[in-house]
Structure 1
Amino acid sequence: MRETTLAGSEGVLLEPEGATTGVLVLSGSSGRIETDRCRMLASHGAAAASIRYFGGPGQPGEARLMPLETFDDVLADLHSRYQRLVVLGTSWGAQAALLLGTLHPEIDAVVALSPTYVAWAGLSDERPQRSSWTLRGEQVPFVPFDDEAIEDALKEAEGASAHGELPSYCEAYLSALEKYADRVPAATIPVERIAGEVVLVAGGDDALWPSVLFAEAIRRRRTAHDLETIVVSHPDAGHRVVLPGEPVLPLSRRLAWGGSEAADRELGLRAWPEIAAIL
C-alpha cells in the first residue's frame, strides 16, 4: 500500500494495489485529517484520501465561510484515477459530502454519517452569523443558530455539572429550525440532485443533533423524486459512528455525543455492509 502526503502536511492518500474506487473522507467539526479511517478503507481495497478543509494554511481558521471549491482538486484527482468516486463525511463533513454530491455529478455515492438535511451557520462566536460554506464566493444559504437555546443548554449542563453532564444541543438545533423556519427552504440541501447512491447512518441517542430525524428528512425528499436512499440506524447509538476495525476516539469534553462505545460500534457494524457494497 502506498501512502502519500497531500498538499504539504494537510492531507493524506492511501492507495492499495488494484484499487478501483477512490473515497474522499471528511472529518466533522474537529477538522482533523482522517488517517485512521482512510487506512481502514484502504485495507478493504479502496483508495482513500482525507484533507484538512479549515484551519490549515490559507484556509478559514474555524468552520465558517469554507469554500466548497476546497475539495475540487482532490475530487478531480480521484475521479481521474479510479472507476468509482465516493465521498464519506461525518457530521459537519456529512453536510459537506451531501452538498458536494449535489454539485458533482461524477460522484457515484455519498455516505453521510450523522447527517443534517440543511446547511448551518458556521461554528463561530462572531456575530452576525455567517454560513459554514461558500460557493463561487457567495454564502451557501443557511439556518442560523438559536443563541438563546444554546445558552439554555449550557446553563442546564452547568446546573447538572455535579453529575458530570455535558451540554446536549439537540433541542437547540430543533429550536433554530422553528425560529428560523423562513430560512429552512433555501438552506435545505437539494439532495434530489445527487445522481449517485446515498447511504445515511444515524444514532437514535445522538445528543449533539437529531441525526435520525435529519436522515429521515433527506430520505423523504429523495423518495418524493423517486430516488432510493438507504438509512441505517441504531436506537442506542450516539453521534459518533465507529466502523469495524476503527479505533474509538476519545469523547468530547465540551459537549455530549450520546450513545455508548458498544452501541456506536454496533451501528458501524450494521452500516458496514451498505458502505462496503458501494466501494
Structure 2
Amino acid sequence: MSGWVPLCLRRAARCWSLPGGGFSVQPAGSCRGVHLDVSPAKSIADESVCIRAAGLSPHQDVTLRALVLTEQDRLFDSSAQYRADSQGRVDVSRSPSLGGHYRGVVPMGLLWTLSPASMEEPYQKLTKFDLMGSPTLIDLCVHSGHADFSIFPGRILAKQRIERWYSKPGVRRIRLREGNVRGSLFLPPGDGPFPGVIDLFGDEGGLTEFRASLLACRGFAALALPYFRFEDLPMTMKDFRLEYFEEAVNFLQKYPKVKGPGIGVVGSSKGADLALSMVTFIPQVVASVCISGCNANTIADLHYKGTKLSSLCYDVDQIIVLESGILDVSETLKNPNTDSIIPVEKAEGHILFVVGEDDKIWNSKHFAEEAIKRLKEHGKDNYELLSYPGTGHRIEPPCSPFCSAMIDRLFGIPVQLGGEAIKHCSAQQDSWQKIQDFLRLHLC
C-alpha cells in the first residue's frame, strides 16, 4: 500500500500493528514472565539505550520491533530477529540479529533503522517538529518467533515505551527577528557564558532546529540559521550575500550568554560550503565544521564586500534514473572552476571536514581532499578530516535513522543519498562526539 490508501484503512493497519491495538497484544510481562527492559526509559535523542529481554525459554526465537507514530500520523517501524541464550535472555549489545532490518551485533540497530512502515509513502524522513514540548515516543516489543510483519506479527510477549527528547530541562528556545537575522537561538541551562555556534542546513530551506537544540543540550549556545524559504527571507536561492551570515555571527558574538570572542559554524551540504566561506572571509569564525560539503560555492553566486564567487554549475543531463525510479545525481556537479573555488587558504580559523565515502549527492570526499590540498600548498595545517566508508550524504546526529533516498523538494522524486545503514549510523555516532570535541577545543 502507498500514501493514497484511505485514512480509515491506514489507521486500521496501525491499530493492528501498534502495541495496544488489535488482537495480538499482551500486557508487558504477562506472558510467562517475559520482561523487556529498555534503559534509560527517558533520554536525550542522541544518547544510546540498552535493550534487554529476559524470561524467555532457552534458545527461543523472538523478534524485537520498534514503532513510532509521528506528529503527522505516519508510522515508522523496524525489526530484528534474535535467538535467546541458554538462560532465556537477549541483550542487543551482545546478541547478534539474525535477520530483519539489520544483522549482527548492533546495540542501537532498532532505532537506527526506523523507516516508513509498509502502508506509508516510502523515502520519508523521521522528523520531530515539537522539539521542546514533547518527546518522540518509541514502542519496543518482543514478538514470539521470527515474525514476518507483512503476513502476521506474532504474539507480543512484552513491550515498553521509551521517550526520546530533543531538549532537556532548562534549555531555552528564543525565536529571532534581529535586524535581518531570522532563526532560533537555543541556550543551555545555567548562566553561561557558553561557546556560540551557528547551525546551517542545505537546499531544503526553511528553519531546521533539531541539531541546534541537541547542541544546546551539550552546552553550546546554538543559533539555527535559515537563509531562504523562511518568513521574509528570499524564497529561492540566488545571489547569496555573506553579510547576512556575518550579521548572525556579530549578533551571536555580542549576545550576553555567549562566551566569544570566536564563533563556530556547523554546516551540512549547501550549508557546508557556506560554513567554509564563513571561516574563509569572516575572521570572527574560528571553527567551522563542514559536513558533506564542496570546496566551491554551489547553487547561487556568493557576494561579500565586492568579492564574488560564481556558482558551480550542475549538468542535469548527467542525472541517471535507476531501475527503482530513484534519481542518481552524483555525477551532475561539474569540477570546480577558478571563479567558484573558495579561497580557503585565507582562513585563520580551524576546519573540520566530515565526509561519507559513499556520498551519492556529490563526491564530498574528493572536494574535502581538494580543499586540504589547497591548504597544504599554502603551508596551512588548520584542518582535520573525518572520512567514513559506507557512509552517504546526510550525516546527522545519531538520533537520525538511516535514509537511503529522500524525496527531492524540486523534483518530487526520490534522490539517492548513498550509504549502508549500519556503517552510516555508526559514522553519525562517531562524528557527533568528535564534532563537539572539535568545537570545544577551539571555542572554549
Q: TM-score range by the shorter chain?
A: 0.7 to 0.9
Structure 1 range deviating more: 232-241 or 253-262: 253-262
Q: Structure 1 residue 71: deviation in Å?
A: 1.6
Check if 1:48 corresponds to 2:222: yes
Other structure's SS at 1:89 match: strand
Q: Aligned residue for 1:38? A: 212
Other structure's SS at 2:422 match: helix
- Checking the alignment, whether the CA contact within 8 Å between 1:60 and 1:66 is kept in structure 2 is no
Check if 1:187 corresponds to 2:359: no
Q: Structure 1 residue 241: deviation in Å?
A: 0.4
Q: Aligned residue for 1:82? A: 259
Q: Which has the higher helix share?
A: 1
Other structure's SS at 1:117 match: coil
CA distance in structure 1 between the partners assigned to 2:402 and 2:247 by the alignment: 29
Q: Structure 1 residue 76: deviation in Å?
A: 0.6
Structure 1 range deviating more: 53-62 or 102-111: 53-62
Other structure's SS at 1:221 match: helix
Q: Aligned residue for 2:434? A: 274
CA distance in structure 1 between the partners assigned to 2:431 and 2:306 by the alignment: 36
Check if 1:197 corresponds to 2:350: yes
Other structure's SS at 2:184 match: strand
Q: Structure 1 residue 259: deviation in Å?
A: 1.0
Q: Aligned residue for 2:363? A: 210
Post-superposition Cα deviations, 1:51-75, rounded to whole Å, max 9, x if no partner, equal 2201234432212222222222221
**Percent identity between the two aligned chains:** 26
Question: 1:164 corresponds to which letter in structure 2?
Answer: S
Q: Aligned residue for 1:140? A: 309
- Checking the alignment, whether the CA contact within 8 Å between 1:101 and 1:110 is kept in structure 2 is yes
Q: Structure 1 residue 151: deviation in Å?
A: 2.7
- Checking the alignment, whether the CA contact within 8 Å between 1:232 and 1:270 is kept in structure 2 is no
Q: Aligned residue for 2:386? A: 232
Consecutive unaligned residues in structure 1, runs of 5 or more: 123-130
Count of matched residue pairs: 253
Other structure's SS at 2:212 match: helix
CA distance in structure 1 between the partners assigned to 2:280 and 2:318 by the alignment: 35
Check if 1:28 corresponds to 2:202: yes
Structure 1 range deviating more: 133-142 or 39-48: 133-142
CA distance in structure 1 between the partners assigned to 2:282 and 2:248 by the alignment: 12
Higher relative contact order (CA 8 A, sep 6+): 1
Distance 1:57 1:243, change over 3 A: closer
Structure (1 or 2) with the larger CA radius of gyration: 2
Q: Structure 1 residue 139: deviation in Å?
A: 4.6
Post-superposition Cα deviations, 1:96-145, rounded to whole Å, max 9, x if no partner, equal 111111111111100000010111243xxxxxxxx2x3334775223222
1:70 to 219, 236, 244: 244
Check if 1:60 corresponds to 2:214: no
Q: Aligned residue for 1:3? A: 173
Q: Which has the higher strand share?
A: 2
Question: 2:297 corresponds to which letter in structure 1?
Answer: A
- Checking the alignment, whether the CA contact within 8 Å between 2:318 and 2:329 is kept in structure 1 is no
CA distance in structure 1 between the partners assigned to 2:183 and 2:433 by the alignment: 27
Check if 1:93 corresponds to 2:268: no
Other structure's SS at 1:268 match: helix
Check if 1:115 corresponds to 2:281: no
- Checking the alignment, whether the CA contact within 8 Å between 1:236 and 1:263 is kept in structure 2 is yes
Question: 2:177 corresponds to which letter in structure 1?
Answer: A
Q: Aligned residue for 2:54? A: none
Q: Structure 1 residue 252: deviation in Å?
A: 1.4
Other structure's SS at 2:207 match: coil
CA distance in structure 2 between the partners assigned to 1:93 and 1:2 by the alignment: 24
